[in-house]
Structure 1
Amino acid sequence: MDDLLRQLVPQVLGVLVRRGADFAAAEDAVQDALIEALGRWPKLPAGQPDDPRAWLVTVAWRKLLDAHRSESARRRRELRELEQPFPGPTEQADDTLLLLFLCCHPSLSPASAVALTLRAVGGLTTRQIADAYLVPEATMAQRISRAKRTVSGQRLDQPGDLGAVLKVLYLIFNEGYSGDVDLAVEAIRLTGQLAAGTDEPEVAGLLALMLIHHARRGSRFAPDGSLVPLAEQDRTCWDTVAIAEGVTILQHALGRDRLGEYQAQAAIAALHADARTAEETDWPQVLEWYDELLRITDSPVVALNRAVALGEVDGPLAGLRVVERLPDDLPRRDAVLAHLHERAGNLAEAQRLYAVAARAARNAAERDHLTRQAARLHARASRPSAT
């Protein structure tokens, strides 16, 4: 029953908001309806009503009206508007996708959009979201409340900014697994829902990218928790079914001839997944896709990743020349420089840069990996030369 209720939450909330209800009040009414469902449904002969969605809509709407009736006289006019009848056929519409656009409204910060999406569309509890992002539950509750107030009054009558939605979904995916919620799986589920409701190739591109990246998840960390670079991962542990699904989705998207950044990223990921070993990677084709991606985004982060591919195709010195022109404060710049210097045989400089990159690492796993790289080169330099 929990899975069914979680699936129905955004649909029911969408109905209330589309009817003109305030987002925050509607969300409270839906939560009250869920509590009533948990108490009453197990007592029904089938364990649930014949039409669970209609039941929740009816109960949530009644609770919303009851809440309005308890307010002062100045709300009576709004109540009369809410009590206008709505035609039955519109209740069959699934407003989940429109609700997703609302939760990713441009007026919200990325952090607030992520939290509101997971709460209203993903059906996660505030505690689950707080645990996943390693913040106190009270802090996350305040963030979600502010986000609900921000979008209150926004109409749920037309799609919003698709680019904003995709960025939020990708942010959720990149958080991976934390607490008792697998955010990567949740992001794939939500992106799959979005892909099923639209023919936009960039949505399919993002879904393909997620599936291919997620297929490598089991090989990214060693048993001791240390990070395993792509070139050193055990490729027999990759989920070939998920990779094949992602590649198929990507091929259909590319066939639409409307290339976007997520499709280009997915194409690069697919090339890495297609290689049986790191040495068999088709680096020239990877470089071509990075050229396309850089043309689309003009992003220094993409330029940094492209420099790695260039170093594989034209040699490390070519990659170094590109990286040295990029901003000094670019994340992972020192790590890429260290990698390229090591390939060029400049071991002392590579060791120094690995240590610098470790101090600026974004998380403990990355810091420990870079520290080990610096220690490896230090030990190599300390060995007595063969005579």
Structure 2
Amino acid sequence: MVGWLVTALLWAAVVVRLRKRQTQADVGLLVMFTGMAIGFTLARPELVALIDAGGFPLSSLLKRCTAMAGAVGVALYMSAVAGRAGWLHIPGSILMIVTLIGSYLAGADRWRETDVFFADASRFTMTTEVWAGWVHFLTWYAYVALVCGSLAATCIAAAMQTGGVLRTQLLVFSAGTVLLGLSPVYAVLGLFTVTSYDLGVDRMAFLSPGVLLLVAGMAWQPIHRLIVAVPARRLHAQLGGLWRLLSDVEPGKRLPVEAVEWPVLLHRRVVEIHDWLRALSAYLPDVEPASGRVTPEEAAGRVREALAARLAGQAPRASALDVFGKPEDNVAQEAKWLIRMWRAWLQMEKELGPVEAGVSPGR
């Protein structure tokens, strides 16, 4: 039941990605999800039995080919994240897939899975079938190792040239690809009896942690955006009252609604509020520019006084002054200061009543 659910979710992801194919990263995700969806579908025992019903074990070959296609998708996506062109992976991948198919049809189908080939002592007797087996499995392992190695090198090189969240994402992804790349190395050593091969060890030491790091690397930026979006959305909402109070001062200064990410929306709201505060400062009589940051309470009083002068019909000065002081460098910190000013405003309104034309702020 769980397997079918995962398969259905993967096909749903394919349908969603079909609508977005503008960039290399988009195409990479589409190819990756398609490969994973087909791979999970082919892993269903019912379907395996149906595909292999004719007597030829075609399901194993299809599974490897779709895994290769999925790996191309990962390469395209992560190359795009690293700022590199990933299309060069495609010709090599097509050549590898053709080799994989040809060797399988030439006799490697005798060993459907790798562990069967490992257990067959006759694999060192170089008949045509055995040659086909060696070509087939070495092609498979070489492909995985080359893709992982090239991706790791690409992401590490890109990480050294950037910083922040992107650098962390690239390094996490590099660690995952290095671990996955060690799996075929371990398997090939086992094939040549240099060391004993254990599928359980391979899964625990290389495959499972490698896949987990790969998934973590791909999800790093979306998760980071989500983590950043939660406090930004909260601050954006808390600034709503002050924004609505000041938005009528100069409605033409409202910025167009284009951004969809909360940190950007928060930054825009802070900028709009500052534009309106500066416009209001032109209504304050005999006020010197602030030498330092005023307190939120002082700022609320000055806003109240400016609004009262504006309601009274007082003409603004030709130029506005910075009467509130230098804002914080950090947008979130500045938003918190503005929220404190809004709370001070609400307290003053509670004590003194609504702003009326020409009425002194009382402080």
TM-score, normalised to structure 2's length? 0.28
Larger Rg: 2
TM-score, normalised to structure 1's length? 0.27
